Structure formats: structure tokens, C-alpha cells
Amino acid sequence: MTNETNSKLLDVLVDIEEDERIKRIPVAVFIGILTIVGILGNFNILVIFSRNSKHHSTYHVLVSALAVSDLVVCITHLPVEIIMVMKPLSFDFDIVCRLVMMNSYVWGCWTVFLILLIAIERYRRICYPFKDQVSCAHARKLCVILFVLAAINAIPMGYISGTHTFPLSNSTNGFECFVNDSLQDSYFPVTYFIILLIEVVLIGLAIFCLYIPVRSKIIKSTIIRKQMTNRNVFKKTLKEEVSCTSITTISFTKPAEKVCQSDRQIFESSSDSSLEPISTNNNNKQETLDKYSNSKDLDNTKILSPGNLLPNPNGLHSILSVAASVDSMDTIILQKTRRSSAKMLFIKTNMKSQAT
């Protein structure tokens, strides 16, 4: 009679667990996806960092240790977690439960400690770059020390965890991996979990406080770098424009000044040699031409002097306007000098004809 009752209860338990298992299939699929992605991703990180072993830094050491921790969790804990999800009422494996829970807490605590160490290393390297930094050898030693601390921190979990029995509605009992039955009325599990919660909160606050100055330092350095880049680009373009316009003004002014100087020499030589035996009418013509050359041409040479055509430091628009005015003035002066030289040739021929 007792055996028949037990078999019926087991059949009922199997039916209940089957219904619960169907509900938990999406959770098991999600954990399986996390397992595959975690194994592939962390293995890829280790392969990439192992290829660049000659250029190792503290960052490579800490991230490699973090990848090892996640990879071990993905290989050892998550598959067992899938079994626990798919056997929600009949997981009666006390030793496996203790080992799996202690293993997951060791690697989980080590991961949290490594994240805190990475935050401290980033803070020292960014906010205090000229002080002594953590070397690769020191980083490896710190990783080992933190692993030992994580193992010590997780040892109580091997004592607390185990098979937990709970009653069902049909006078049967279910089994799950949780706090073992011998510590159900003890304060030790509650105290241990409160200590773990305090540790996690304090480490989270420490990481948050460490990354605040790191973020502000990075923002300031980014702003300064952009300002220096814009300033250098502006200086480069300004130098190119000034050199280009200065070359243009020199090419504009030198031919005009040479033409004006040659015209003055023609006027002076003609006034010294050929105008003495000429009549008063020719002298008046020569005087008017001298006045024209001495007034107009000299004014033009003053306008076209390099001192008046220096680039205006107030802006590039004034430089370009000066260059355009120089171009138009140069053409006007060349036309006037050609006319004056033609008049001089005409006067000389008249003087020669009158002298004969």
C-alpha cells in the first residue's frame, strides 16, 4: 500500500515538474545563448591578447584575467544552471549543489574585485599620469591576491548551500539547490548574504566615485585637443593666405615701380639734354609733362609702395581687396606710361626737325 502511494506521489510530482519545465524553456534557451556567446567572446579575447604578448600592458593583464573568470563561469556554472532550471522540483544533488554554488561565488567575487582594480588603475593613469603606475608584474600579483580573497569570501557558500526541501500542494516534497535544510532556522545565511550585499554596494560606490574624475578629465582633454587642432588649422591657413597675397602684391608692385622709375629717367634725361635750345612753347609743353610725371606717377608709386601694401592683419578680406586694387592700378599706370612715352617721342622728333 505504501509503495503504491509513493509511486502515485512520484507520478504526480513528475507531472507537476513537467508543466513547470515547459514554462521554463525560454529561460533555459536564454541561458544557453549566454553560455555560447560568453565562451566564444571570452575565448576570442584571450586569443587576440595572446597574439600581442610583446606589447602587453596592465590593461591587457586585467582584461585577460576578467575574460578567464567569465570563461570559467560560462563553462562550469551555466550548464549546471540550465539543469537546475529544467529540474525545478527534483534537483536532489547535495554535493554538486555545494560545489557549483561555491565555484560560482568564487569567480563572481573575483570578477567584481577585478572591475574595482581596473577602475583604480584607470583613475591613477588618467588623473595622475606622472606618478608611479601599476606594472604588468604587479598587476599579475594583484590578480592572484584578489583571487585568494574571493575564494576566502566564497568558502562559507559551500557550507550554506545544499539541497533544500519544500512542500508541494499534493502532500509531496520538492528539491532545489538553495540553503540546505540544516540551516533553515539559523542566522548565519542571512548574515552572510547581508555582508555580501554590503560589499557589492561599497564596491559599486567606489567604482562610481573613481570614474567621475576620470570622465571629467577625459572631457577636458578632449576639449583642449579640439581647440589646439582648430588653432593649428587656422594658423596654417592664415599663413598660406598671407604668403599667397604677399607674393601677389610683390608681383604687382615691382613692375609698376620699375616702369615709373624708367619714365622718370627718360623725362630727366630729356629735360637735361634736349630741351635747352627749344622755344618757349616747347618749354611750356615740357614743363606740363614734367608736372604730370612728377605728380601723377609719383602719387601712383606712393600708392603702390610695398609699405602701403602690407597685408592687413585684421582679416583676409582686406588683403584680397588690396590685391584687386593693385591689379587695376597697375593696368592704369601702364597705360599712362605708354601714352607719356609716345608723347616724348613725338616731342623729340619735333625738336630735331626744328633744330635742323
Best CA proximity match to 151, nearest among 99, 197, 97, 106: 106
Best CA proximity match to 78, nearest among 23, 14, 31: 31
Task: Report whether pLDDT(18) > 50.
Answer: yes
- Is the domain of 308 the same as that of 162? no
Number of domains in the chain: 2
CB 41 within 8 A of CB 111: no
- Is the domain of 24 the same as that of 172? yes
Tens digits of per-residue pLDDT, 240-291? 655 655 554 444 444 444 444 554 454 445 444 444 444 444 455 455 445 5
Average pLDDT over residues 178-184: 86
Q: Range with the lowest mean pLDDT among 114-128, 188-202, 242-256, 271-285?
A: 271-285
CA 163, CA 161: separation in Å to the nearest integer? 7
- Is the domain of 61 the same as that of 144? yes
Average pLDDT over residues 197-219: 93
- Is the domain of 25 the same as that of 86? yes
Distances (CA, A) of 212 to 32, 125, 219, 226, 269: 36, 14, 11, 22, 85
- Is the domain of 174 the same as that of 104? yes
- Is the domain of 21 the same as that of 118? yes
DSSP 257-313: HHHHHHHHHHHHHHHHHTSTTS-HHHHHHHHHHHHHIIIIIHHHHHHT-TTTTSPPT
0.75 cut: is pTM over it? no
More reliable by pLDDT, 123 or 324: 123
Tens digits of per-residue pLDDT, 289-309? 455 444 444 444 444 444 444
- Is the domain of 259 the same as that of 331? yes
Give the count of alpha carbons within 13 A of 53, CB side only. 4
- Looking at 186, 219, 252, the residue that finishes a domain is 186
- Is the domain of 176 the same as that of 254? no
- Looking at 186, 205, 223, the residue that finishes a domain is 186
Average pLDDT over residues 125-142: 88
- Is the domain of 254 the same as that of 126? no
25 CB neighbour count, 10 Å cutoff: 11
pLDDT for res 263: 46
Q: Indicate the pLDDT class of residue 109, thresholds 50, 70 and 90.
A: very high
Pairing of strands 161-167, 173-179: antiparallel
325 within some domain: yes
The residue type of 115 is: I
Give the range of the structural domain holding residue 53, as residue numbers without chain letter: 2-186
DSSP 149-170: HHHHHHHHHHHHEEEEEEE-TT
For the chain, give the percent of residues with pLDDT over 70.
61
Q: Indicate the pLDDT class of residue 173, thresholds 50, 70 and 90.
A: confident
